[in-house]
Amino acid sequence: MQTGTFALLLKDHELVKGIIEELLDTPVSARKRRQELLTTLKQELQGHENLEERVVYPALESRKSTQGLTLEAYQEHHVVDVLLEELESLDFQDDDWKAKLKVLQENLLHHVREEEDELFPKAEKVLSRDQLQRIEQQIGQAKGA
């Protein structure tokens, strides 16, 4: 796992992946636990998305080498939000619920891979040391670290 500027965002990625895994493993009968996990997942994802969209993406969308990935990342966030809304509106016992959660997981894994393997490494090349330090500081402040 990378350290430095994006370390706290990478920790978020691991946390969210774990919550989804737990949700997938939670039996249908454990309605209260599923609701708690879904609420936590939504809070974590929305906070993470907000932070990336407020602090990280604006610095990258004007750069030629990161613009496409950044614009795609905004759209991937939107898809995640739509899937979360749909999950909240479905009954946990609905056959579509687990399938939709699996689609959410696949979308998130794709998004995380692109950020970790492409976007963040490119950001570390195209942004100045000062910009990276400012981003790291803003992330740390937002995360209370």
CATH number at residue 83: 1.20.120.520
Q: Tell whether 1 is covered by a domain.
A: no
pLDDT tens-digit map of 93-138: 888 999 999 999 999 999 999 999 999 999 999 999 999 999 999 9
Q: What's the rounded Cα separation, in Å, for the pair 68 and 61?
A: 8
Inside any domain, residue 37: yes
Whether 91 is covered by a domain: the verdict is yes
Specify the pLDDT at position 1: 42
Asked if residue 93 is part of any domain, the answer here is: yes
Does the residue 28 lie in any domain? yes
User: How many Cα atoms sit within 13 Å of 48 on the Cβ side?
Assistant: 28
* Residue 2 falls inside a structural domain: no
Residues 6 or more apart whose CB falls under 8 angstroms from that of 41 comprise: 16, 19, 20, 23, 84
For residue 3, pLDDT over 60 is answered with no
Please, what is the average pLDDT of the chain? Answer: 94
Q: For residue 138, what are the contacts with CB-CB under 8 A and spacing of at least 6?
A: 55
Domain membership of residue 101 as a residue range? 7-143
